[in-house]
Amino acid sequence: MQMPLNEFKRALQAGETQIGAFLGLCDPYSAEVMSTAGLDWLLIDGEHAVNTPASVLRQLQAMAPYPVRPVVRTLDHDAARIKQYLDVGVQSLLVPMVESADEAQALVRAMRYPPAGIRGVGTGLARAARWNGVKDYFAQANEQMCLIVQVESRAGLDALDAILAVDGVDAVFIGPSDLAASLGYLGQPGHPEVKAAVADALARIRASGKGAGVFATDTGSAAAYRASGASFLVVGVDVLLLRNAAMQMAASFKGAVQ
């Protein structure tokens, strides 16, 4: 059995533009529906949504027949939880609130087998290795890992150059909402100072040769951030897509009938 290749990482290294959306409904059926929408990647959220390694597994299985590329956002930096995500088959992790090179280096080590890291060995129980079915899994696993660190605070911005210098960090994702709060503009990710800080960070990430990502809520911002250097963008949230469509439908029919 062949090692599954990390298509998200391949596209990242090639500089391809990847447009994606958050998955927060924690449901494999809805994840499969989103997989048919024509998006390049989907971000299963384990930070603000109530996903667990078990629910992530079910969504990965539902997404597997489709060309969409899965990424998982973790709750925190916990190495034991990261190990579980990797063992169920996650190859690309986005880790929130990274504020130093030391934190980034610890995350690199959590995603790699010794001697390069501290990932525990349990391939007989791991979907990632197809339960010891992947030939030479240990020789290939580290290379297929993709680490995206999320910079979303003033401290993270201050440490950005040091974070970018860490070998094994493949990309940096800028979180405008938390960054806005950290800069004193809570609830105002579109504030000019926040947008300027995001654009500057994206340009610095791009100049380093690593992938730059961002959350953009409208096409104008997405185009501007792409021009600043972002190559992978989150542009929607499944929960909000459902709610907004439901609200629009309710208002439309109530207006027509009443």
77 included as an active-site residue: no
Give the Cα separation of 78 and 23 in Å (integer): 21
pLDDT at 258: 79
The residue from 5, 16, 48, 158 that is catalytic is 48
- The three-state secondary structure class of 64 is coil
Residue 1 is assigned to a structural domain of this protein: no
Q: Return the number of other C-beta atoms located less than 10 Å from residue 178's C-beta.
A: 18
Give the Cα separation of 46 and 24 in Å (integer): 8
Residue 2 is assigned to a structural domain of this protein: no
- For the question of whether the overall pTM of this predicted structure is more than 0.85, the answer is yes
Host domain of residue 34: 7-257
- The three-state secondary structure class of 49 is coil
DSSP-assigned letter for residue 117 = -
Residue 251 is assigned to a structural domain of this protein: yes
Give the Cα separation of 70 and 63 in Å (integer): 8
What's phi and psi for 119, nearest 5 deg? -60, 130
Instruction: Show the low-confidence residues of the chain (pLDDT under 50).
Output: none
Give every CB contact of residue 6 below 8 A, 6+ residues apart in sequence. 91, 92, 144, 145, 146
Specify the number of domains making up the chain: 1
User: In this structure, what CATH number is given to the domain that contains residue 55?
Assistant: 3.20.20.60
